[in-house]
């Protein structure tokens, strides 16, 4: 089901509720539909990648009674199973705009970014259209102060045979005001030859609702 039809179904059936989690995902889906972005936000956080489910459980456990945990609550030992896929972005207020600086960027994320990102501002290292899109997608989680889950096709020109699943979550030193954004992203090859890999990629692409594109890209990849 595509983003627009998914969102329309929610409107027609009245399945939307007013929780912060659901509102954040609704904002993502409205943005995706309006801009024809090949992605969805999932209000139920139904992670297909097992490591993302584990990270979400850790985030919830570490926050305790607070709205969100602090960066210091999450140790490398806690996150060792996702280190290559992990990013911590400092939230830097610069006048009227908000910027994101990579405090830590795992090797798998660096690869998809095109180079080492740790210590760099995203808006100085990544094309503006991608930064604008990402910031728009991250903002609902930061404003609602809740984790979000997105699934989408990778749009970098040489990496379009991948579908990503991402956990976004705010962190706050005071437990209330986000000062770090935590991202954990897994990139699944849609032409994976293993049964498990293929099933996972198929499930994620089905969520995005782009089955026709999946078939075209698999056909192209098999002859490349």
In the predicted model, is pLDDT for residue 217 greater than 60?
no
Specify the pTM: 0.80
State the Cα–Cα distance between residues 140 and 32, nearest whole angstrom: 13
For tokens 């290292």, the residue is 125
215: confidence class by pLDDT, cuts 50, 70, 90: very low
pLDDT in the model for residue 116: 83
5-15: burial string, b at 16+ Cβ within 10 Å, e else: ebbeebeeeee
Identify the burial level of 184 via C-beta atoms within 10 angstroms of its C-beta, where 0-12 means exposed, 13-18 middle and 19 or more buried: buried
What's the rounded mean pLDDT across residues 19-44?
A: 91
Contact call for residues 167 and 11 (beta carbons, < 8 A): no
When mean pLDDT is compared across 17-31, 96-110, 145-159, the lowest value belongs to 145-159
| Percent of the chain topping pLDDT 70 | 80
The per-residue pLDDT of the chain, averaged, comes to 82
Specify the 3-state DSSP secondary structure of 63.
helix
Contact call for residues 62 and 69 (beta carbons, < 8 A): yes
* Cα angle, residue 61 at apex, residues 46 and 200 outer, rounded to 5°: 25
In the predicted model, is pLDDT for residue 216 greater than 60?
no
pLDDT in the model for residue 82: 96
State the Cα–Cα distance between residues 38 and 3, nearest whole angstrom: 8
In the predicted model, is pLDDT for residue 113 greater than 90?
no
The architecture that CATH gives domain 3-212 is: 2-Layer Sandwich (3.30)
* CA gyration radius, the chain: 17
pLDDT digits (tens, 9 = 90+) for 152-173: 887 654 555 678 899 999 999 9
pLDDT in the model for residue 158: 54
pLDDT digits (tens, 9 = 90+) for 120-142: 999 998 889 888 999 999 999 99
Specify the 3-state DSSP secondary structure of 126.
coil
pLDDT in the model for residue 94: 84
Number of other residues whose CB lies within 10 A of the CB of residue 17: 11
């Amino acid at each position: 089901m595509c983003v627009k039809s998914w969102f329309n179904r929610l409107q027609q059936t009245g399945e939307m509720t007013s929780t912060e989690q659901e509102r954040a995902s609704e904002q993502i889906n409205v943005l995706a539909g309006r801009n024809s972005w090949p992605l969805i936000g999932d209000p139920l956080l139904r992670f297909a990648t097992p490591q993302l489910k584990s990270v979400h459980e850790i985030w919830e456990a570490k926050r305790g009674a607070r709205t969100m945990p602090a960066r210091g609550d999450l140790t490398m030992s806690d996150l060792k199973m996702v280190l290559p896929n992990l990013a911590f972005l400092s939230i830097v207020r610069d006048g009227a705009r908000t910027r994101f600086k990579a405090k830590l960027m795992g090797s798998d994320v660096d690869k998809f970014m095109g180079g080492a990102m740790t210590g760099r501002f995203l808006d100085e290292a990544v094309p503006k259209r991608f930064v604008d899109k990402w910031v728009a997608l991250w903002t609902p989680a930061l404003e609602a102060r809740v984790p979000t889950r997105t699934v989408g096709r990778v749009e970098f020109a040489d990496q379009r045979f991948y579908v990503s699943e991402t956990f976004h979550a705010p962190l706050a030193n005071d437990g209330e005001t986000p000062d770090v954004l935590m991202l954990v992203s897994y990139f699944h090859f849609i032409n994976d030859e293993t049964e498990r890999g293929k099933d996972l990629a198929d499930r994620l692409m089905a969520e995005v609702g782009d089955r026709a594109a999946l078939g075209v890209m698999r056909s192209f990849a098999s002859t490349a």
